[in-house]
Amino acid sequence: MHLVRLFLIILCVGLPASVVADLSDGDLPATRWYAHIDLVEMRSSDVGKQLYAWLEEELFDELREEIGFDADKEANMITAMAAPDKGMLVVIDGEFSQQTLDRVVAIGAAASDFNTLTHEGNDYFQFEGDSDDPDRNSFENGAFLSVAIKNKLIVTSTEEQMQQVFASKGRVPGDYNNGGALVVLRGENSFLQAGMQTKELGDDLGWDSNMLRNTEQLALLVSDRKGLLAVEAQLLASEAQMANSLASIVRGLISLQAFNEDMDPELTKFLNDTTVDVDGATLTVKVELNPEVLIRVIN
């Protein structure tokens, strides 16, 4: 449970279990949210290395100290999704040592209620959480863990989801014809892809935003574009008129902040370089910047 929670820190905005360098719409079934982080691409890019260094300092060092898991050497991709009917799924793809796998299982075994199960020759483990929340899209009331499929560490919130992964030999197929699938933004050298139905950002999560209440989907892409860190966000509004209204709000907010005399000059340039476009009911916000500036913004 602790390992899963630590990895979910990366999903700060918050998938299939196949190894894919870049997601497309067809790689997803109907989901409430998804995230896909390509650590290999991040480590191999001069731009990505700076973002990776931040992740290492904020997250990976803690994993290394607490459970001896060296993400720098063993993790290649982290993918996650939450399906309305099948629950939550997190998959870490990598080349894991037996010691790492044993430690992960040991963390689960430390739970007060821990069971070893088998499905069609694949072992997996069930451990109970400390919540009575009936939400299947959460690990708070327990989870299922498996290291049975080579080079994959799989955690699901439901037994059904785990068994489906086994049945498809580690792949959860997407559906190009599924009307419930979320928008996926793509780039040539993508570090992060993420998306969400914005109704998930309800008042119970502390998001009180007129913008999000008038959108249906939110998608995010962080990638390497000609030596700069490209960030693209896309909001699908309920109608074209609403998209134009949201665009005006975003442009106004950017303009107001750009006149802030106390703001770092590089951040002011970052705001001034941000583009806001509308196509029908879709609002797209893009910016390309030096990764050091983005790290400062995050911090």
Give the pLDDT confidence of 32-60 residue by residue, as tens digits. 888 888 999 999 888 898 888 888 887 78
Q: Final residue of a domain: which of 167, 201, 236?
A: 167
**In a shared domain, residues 149 and 38:** yes
**In a shared domain, residues 127 and 234:** no
The gap from C-alpha 190 to its chain's centroid, in whole angstroms, comes to: 13
**In a shared domain, residues 114 and 234:** no
pLDDT for residue 9 is more than 80: no
**In a shared domain, residues 220 and 290:** yes
User: Are 178 and 30 contacting, i.e. CB atoms less than 8 angstroms apart?
Assistant: yes
Residue 211 falls inside a structural domain: yes
**In a shared domain, residues 74 and 37:** yes
Tens digits of residue pLDDT in 159-213? 888 988 888 776 665 655 555 578 888 877 889 999 988 876 655 444 456 666 7
**In a shared domain, residues 111 and 48:** yes
**Domain count of the fold of the chain:** 2
Nearest to 14 by CA among 256, 192, 216: 192
Residue 175 falls inside a structural domain: no
- Structural domain containing residue 63: 2-18+32-167
Residue 180 falls inside a structural domain: no
Q: What pTM did the predictor assign?
A: 0.81
The gap from C-alpha 217 to its chain's centroid, in whole angstroms, comes to: 15
pLDDT band at 278 (very low <50, low <70, confident <90, very high): very high
Residue 173 falls inside a structural domain: no
**In a shared domain, residues 147 and 202:** no
Single-letter code of the amino acid located at 122: N
**In a shared domain, residues 150 and 203:** no
Mean residue pLDDT of the chain comes to: 78
Residue 179 falls inside a structural domain: no
Say how far apart CA 133 and CA 292 lie, in whole Å: 40
Residue 150 falls inside a structural domain: yes
**In a shared domain, residues 147 and 13:** yes
Q: Final residue of a domain: which of 105, 133, 167?
A: 167
